[in-house]
A and B are shown apart, each in its own frame.
Chain A
Amino acid sequence: MGDKVGAVLVVGGGVAGIQAALDLADSGFRVYLLDESPSIGGTMAQLDKTFPTNDCAMCILAPKLVAAGRHPNIHLITHAEIEGVEGEPGNFKVKVRRKARYVDPEKCTGCGVCARECPIEAIDEYDEGLSRRSAIYVKYVQAVPRTYIIDRGKCIGCGTCKEVCRAGAIKYDDKDEVVELPVGAIILAPGFEEFNPVVKSEYGYKRYPNVVTSIEFERILSASGPYGGVVLRPSDGRIPRKIAFIQCVGSRDAQIGNEYCSAACCMYAIKEAIIAKEHVPTKLDCTIFYMDIRAYGKDFEKYYKRAMEEYGIRFVRARVASIDEDPVTRNLIVKYVDNEKPCEEEFDMIILSVGMRPPKNAEKLARAVGIELNKYGFCLTNPLSSIETTKPGVFVCGAFAGPKDIPESVAQASGAAAKAMSIIASERGKLVAVKEYPPEKDVSKEEPRIGVFICHCGINIGGYVNVPEVTEYAKTLPNVVYAEHNLYTCSEDTQKRIKEKIIEHNLNRVVVASCTPRTHEPLFRETVREAGLNEYLFEMANIRDQCSWVHMHEPKAATEKAKDLVRSAVAKARMLRPLKKPTVSVIPVALVIGGGVSGMTAAVELAKQGFEVHLVEREKDLGGNLKRIYYLLEGEDPQKYMRNLIDEVNKYPSIHVYLGAEVVEVSGFVGNFKSKILHGGGIKEIEHGVIIVATGATEYKPKEYLYGVDPRVITQRELEEKIYRGLFDAKTVAMIQCVGARNEENPNCSRICCSEAIKNALKIKEISPETEVYIFYKDVRSYGFKEEYYHEALKKGIVFINYDDARKPTVMREGERLKLIFWEPVLQHEIEIYPDLVVLSAAVVPNPDNKKVAEMLKVPLTKDGFFLEAHMKLRPVDFQTDGVFLCGLAHGPKPIDESVSQACAAAARAATILSKEVLELEGIIATVNEDLCGGCRICESVCPFGAIEMVEKDGGLVAKVIEALCKGCGTCGSACPTKAISPQHFTTEQILSQVRAILAG
């Protein structure tokens, strides 16, 4: 066996691949991030907004793109493919073909002159064919790497680009290059391909111009898209008044061999409908034709409700039979069947919600890597750990492992990173480069020399704010020695420019007027740091959110306001002082709260990487909810899985298990926590660097349907227990879905109950085929590959009956018998049945301890009481508080495999901290001028983070800031009676300078 290699190959540079790469690179491994396409970004880069937060997709992705692009340990290999893999886990040799690009990435500056002059036009794939690009092109403006590429199939070889390229980057004699990469593990994240609806000829896609796919519609919605973000009908460029979405196009369709559900389409359709309504200046009617609305994710149901109630989006449960075009108006006539009644309705435009297909080259990739695919062509995975492929050392994440949305892809990505890390943990730090910054320039004696960079953000800002005018204005401001405007100030080439300008004009302060500092400030700070300036000599003005977005219809006012904001930012920049970032040492130990499947998995994953773990479980034994799960839809034995996992926990001496124990106190901060564990009557004190919250959840105890009154009314979990113990005996079983979920009190969907009901129903049919099973549901939410089991249940004669809130089934006693009355939606009248057993699919409700834990850790909960992550889309297992992570049911209802993925993800995220000896912290914190401090303790009492302690000085008390806890909020500064404590970077003088500047306009 060869030596292990501390490097990982990540195949696919979409959001999942990028996340995996960043986690690995931040934990001390070298990463090769490979993408078939010329730039990373994947499908997410094409999206307009994301659900359920309506964040702009590019705005939240761009910082990650840039972080991956500039990370010293991430090597991008774009426009490349894998040819073969040899070796074993820990030491693979991967043959990679880097295809000729005909442009030298080292020399290309991304200026775009070549594309402007190129006489050849081609279909723009990024815009889904709705626009054209030239034969030499870059995929999109913010692309990383922003290196142009020649489309050899289209290029006529005229030589123009070479002539106009001032950088000398054109390389017509470029050849494919085959390189061999030694890596310890491989992560596959090649994503998916959209279903091509041409085969569903009844929908008229490509025949009727006003029938578009959902991804085409994303481009239509996007400000960077073909129509500049104005929703238009392709046939005549008019703004539609009435549009419809058709769900499940290419999904849940046995006829075309795609039986599975594509998992994300319901939500993206709702999102697209909402965004379309927001983009259209006039009134827009949106209708969604669906089979089941599968809004099963965290807070998705609320989003769905908002779509109905707030936005007036109409939902019609019907399968659309056909679409015809009115040849004169090019309107579309939709034929569908609603409640057995044939209906016809005319729309201006139709969006087909196309499903996910395996990536185009899945088979080739599978052959080259040596993994197996499932029957649909997606990656075959372990049902209990969906990040593992059939080949050891090769992991998978994102849609290639099965259709899924972004947060789940991101969680899987971090999870796959953890799996990869554990194989090569011994090689951590051996192949990484430490980023070197130029020595920091001392600017303290210099007069401020400010450079201002103003962003068009495509048309996001430039479409409404007169950016050149603002730039000219900026040049007139005091101490501004340079100002320019950029199409995208955040793009990689602009970073290069900013650095050049800092040196050229000897700038010692930089102002960027663009979007929000929340997403983009770290990027620009890094840039100024790379140019030798202290990173805090940077200031941002948010002229997108505050000017162009809110004053779209008053461009003059928007421009004037942008000038005010720039003036204010410049005024503050003049007063900026360099700050030092404090550092803390890291105790490489983790505390995991909760010993269910998630907590155990996280503990084992960290132990595999060589970290010490304290695993605290409240109950007397490990296992959590898994203890009461006896079988799974996919056939695996969960009890065996649990026993193995417990054995593994016990195998590691580095995992300290505390049973019947509770964490009662947590203090400290990232890298240096101190906690007290109540265990065996005593208190054990531990020190640790991170915390993983895996406190699980419980089953709702129903108050409905005679539960607790009649013993024949039980929950799914009780039914499972009954079947497992051989106590099941019933001729008729009625299951009622959404008990305690999707109602006023608990608006969210519990995600797992539909599959649980199907699982138990199938089990009943297996042991007692003659038993009749009814499932009363609102929507059947057997998402992803679980859809197969729904089909199987239908085939086995399990009866699914839809109900809505207005007509819930009722359960009563009639003599000795149980009677259930329900409304039959097809027959349109009430029917009675007499079940022997009524099984309630009870909601998953948060652990009642969550509140206590949340307070102790100072982390937030959602309204319904689950833990709230740092960002719903891109940080699914992080908390806002550094060093604290979450996974499993504590985050929200989910099946075992998703809990396992998240647990691995939490381990990977934790490892990015535990793997460092020293952590660099945020520099914007409060400082105390001890001479002024009177020791009154007001600051201590107002600090929300407990970041102030009182220390003795000269016989009195003075305040002292605990740097690692201070978040820089500044509350102390406003409260201090003697102005002794001051939040740096937001000093009173600095803020006043902004106020004065604004009022001076």
Chain B
Amino acid sequence: MEAGLRIICFICDWAFPEWSIETPPNVSVIQVKCIGRLDPIIILEAFARGVDGVIVVGCKWPDCHFIDGSLYGERTIRLLKKIMALTGLETERLRLEMVSPIENRSLSSIVEKFIDDIKDFGPLFKGKEADKELLFNLQAAEQAVTWSRLRMLSGRERKLTEKVNVYGERISQEEYDRLIEEALEEEYIRSKIYLITKGKPASVEEISRRIGVDSFLVLQHIVTLRRKGLLGVDRIEGYTPLYKALEVG
């Protein structure tokens, strides 16, 4: 076992009896009311702060104490995996395990299996140059899920794909996935632009080079960010406008 890996385990208050919560020393358990409470920001922040793996254990439907809270939690993890893929983080570093209180599974075996599965990835931050990039990506991902667009879409996902929308129509899961992925990709790039310009004013081309996105697209995102009041022109240097993130308040 890789003793060095830092693991956080989020568990639902109701998934295990109190006395059975037993994990190795490098695994810290955080109990929540329900995994439905797991805002993607929390998990992304955990990674950004250097956790090597996150395992979330919740209750299988229909045994969720909060009717379908855990189903929302499931969606959050799905979204997070998509986000992680964008940041370059191994999606396996996040795992969701659904248990039923009556199954009487042991938490420690679930956690050990998880640690075993990710041990080959090693620590998240390897003390190299690439860490900086990963950290930046994680911060951008965190920013993306802070803005309302993704929250709105993921919050409505179950209603719109499992039931009907306001027009009495149902949206297929595939279509919704596409919608979320599209929004995710856009919001992620926008977040990066926002973060870069928060530090110091930057031009379209500087941003493009920094994040490896075509300058044509960068400009389009800047247009949107300006419309949303998140970005403004700081100054024009010669032939190049420099943009700066605006404090929202």
Q: Which of A's residues lie within 8 Å of B, judged by CB?
A: 117, 119, 121, 130-132, 156-160, 162, 172, 209, 226-228, 230, 232, 234-241, 281-282
- Find out whether the CB atom of A239 lies under 8 angstroms from the CB atom of B236: yes
- Find out whether the CB atom of B148 lies under 8 angstroms from the CB atom of A158: no
Complex: how many Å from CA A239 to CA B183?
A: 29
Which stretch, B62-70, B86-94, B162-170, touches the partner chain A?
B162-170
Closest beta carbon of chain A to B165's beta carbon, Å: 3
- Find out whether the CB atom of A119 lies under 8 angstroms from the CB atom of B241: no
- Find out whether the CB atom of A281 lies under 8 angstroms from the CB atom of B236: yes
- Find out whether the CB atom of A236 lies under 8 angstroms from the CB atom of B216: yes
* Contact A117-B208, Cβ < 8 Å, known A158-B166, A237-B203: no
Contact of B215 with A by CB under 8 A? yes
Contact pick for A237, options B166, B169, B222, B227, CB 8 Å: B222
- Find out whether the CB atom of A239 lies under 8 angstroms from the CB atom of B166: no
Closest beta carbon of chain A to B1's beta carbon, Å: 43
Q: Which of B187-205 contact A (CB under 8 A)?
A: 203-205
- Find out whether the CB atom of A119 lies under 8 angstroms from the CB atom of B183: yes
* Contact A156-B223, Cβ < 8 Å, known A234-B216, A239-B239, A281-B236: no
- Find out whether the CB atom of A235 lies under 8 angstroms from the CB atom of B165: no
Closest beta carbon of chain B to A833's beta carbon, Å: 52
Which of chain B's residues has its CB closest to A119's CB?
B152
Main secondary structure of the interface of A (DSSP, over half): loop
Main secondary structure of the interface of B (DSSP, over half): helix
Complex: how many Å from CA A230 to CA B160?
A: 41
Chain B residues contacting A172 (CB-CB under 8 Å) are 166-167
Contact of B20 with A by CB under 8 A? no
Q: Which of B218-240 contact A (CB under 8 A)?
A: 218-220, 222-224, 226-227, 233, 236, 238-240
Complex: how many Å from CA A831 to CA B183?
A: 68
Chain A residues contacting B204 (CB-CB under 8 Å) are 236-238
- Find out whether the CB atom of A236 lies under 8 angstroms from the CB atom of B236: no
- Find out whether the CB atom of A230 lies under 8 angstroms from the CB atom of B222: no
Complex: how many Å from CA A239 to CA B226?
A: 18
The 3 closest A-B pairs by CB, nearest first: A157-B165, A237-B204, A119-B152
Contact pick for B240, options A132, A157, A238, CB 8 Å: A238
Q: Which of B's residues lie within 8 Å of A, judged by CB?
A: 148-150, 152-153, 156, 159-160, 165-167, 169, 171, 179, 183, 186, 203-205, 208, 215-216, 218-220, 222-224, 226-227, 233, 236, 238-241
Which of chain A's residues has its CB closest to B228's CB?
A116
Complex: how many Å from CA A773 to CA B204?
A: 58
Contact pick for B224, options A117, A132, A237, A238, CB 8 Å: A132
Closest beta carbon of chain B to A588's beta carbon, Å: 53
14 pairs, CB–CB < 8 Å, chain A vs chain B: A119-B148, A119-B149, A131-B223, A132-B224, A156-B156, A156-B165, A158-B152, A209-B216, A228-B233, A235-B216, A235-B219, A237-B222, A237-B240, A238-B239
Chain A residues contacting B203 (CB-CB under 8 Å) are 237-238
- Find out whether the CB atom of A130 lies under 8 angstroms from the CB atom of B223: yes
Chain A residues contacting B208 (CB-CB under 8 Å) are 236
- Find out whether the CB atom of B152 lies under 8 angstroms from the CB atom of A226: no
* Contact A232-B219, Cβ < 8 Å, known A237-B205, A238-B239, A282-B238: yes
* Contact A239-B227, Cβ < 8 Å, known A119-B149, A159-B165, A230-B236: no
- Find out whether the CB atom of B219 lies under 8 angstroms from the CB atom of A237: yes
Chain A residues contacting B222 (CB-CB under 8 Å) are 237
Chain B residues contacting A162 (CB-CB under 8 Å) are 166
Chain A residues contacting B224 (CB-CB under 8 Å) are 121, 131-132
Complex: how many Å from CA A824 to CA B150?
A: 68
Chain B residues contacting A240 (CB-CB under 8 Å) are 239
Closest beta carbon of chain B to A130's beta carbon, Å: 7
- Find out whether the CB atom of A158 lies under 8 angstroms from the CB atom of B156: yes
* Contact A235-B223, Cβ < 8 Å, known A156-B165, A157-B166, A160-B152: no
Complex: how many Å from CA A238 to CA B238?
A: 9
Complex: how many Å from CA A236 to CA B216?
A: 5
- Find out whether the CB atom of B233 lies under 8 angstroms from the CB atom of A237: no
Chain B residues contacting A282 (CB-CB under 8 Å) are 238-239
- Find out whether the CB atom of A158 lies under 8 angstroms from the CB atom of B219: no
In the complex, which of the residues A157, A230, A237, A241 has the most CB atoms of chain B within 10 Å of its own CB atom?
A237
Contact pick for A159, options B156, B219, B236, CB 8 Å: B156
Which of chain A's residues has its CB closest to B182's CB?
A121
Complex: how many Å from CA A237 to CA B240?
A: 7
Closest beta carbon of chain B to A794's beta carbon, Å: 42
Chain B residues contacting A119 (CB-CB under 8 Å) are 148-150, 152-153, 156, 183
- Find out whether the CB atom of A158 lies under 8 angstroms from the CB atom of B149: no
Which of chain B's residues has its CB closest to A170's CB?
B166
Chain B residues contacting A235 (CB-CB under 8 Å) are 215-216, 219
- Find out whether the CB atom of A238 lies under 8 angstroms from the CB atom of B205: yes
* Contact A230-B156, Cβ < 8 Å, known A119-B183, A130-B223: no
- Find out whether the CB atom of B167 lies under 8 angstroms from the CB atom of A157: yes
Complex: how many Å from CA A232 to CA B220?
A: 11
A119-B183, A156-B171, A234-B219 are known; give 13 further A-B pairs, CB within 8 A. A156-B165, A157-B165, A157-B166, A157-B171, A158-B153, A158-B156, A228-B233, A232-B241, A237-B215, A238-B239, A239-B239, A241-B239, A282-B239
* Contact A236-B223, Cβ < 8 Å, known A157-B165, A158-B160, A172-B167: no
Closest beta carbon of chain A to B173's beta carbon, Å: 13
Chain A residues contacting B150 (CB-CB under 8 Å) are 119
Which of chain A's residues has its CB closest to B179's CB?
A156
Complex: how many Å from CA A239 to CA B241?
A: 8
Complex: how many Å from CA A848 to CA B205?
A: 62
Complex: how many Å from CA A241 to CA B222?
A: 21
Chain A residues contacting B226 (CB-CB under 8 Å) are 228
- Find out whether the CB atom of B218 lies under 8 angstroms from the CB atom of A132: no
Chain B residues contacting A227 (CB-CB under 8 Å) are 223
Which of chain B's residues has its CB closest to A131's CB?
B223
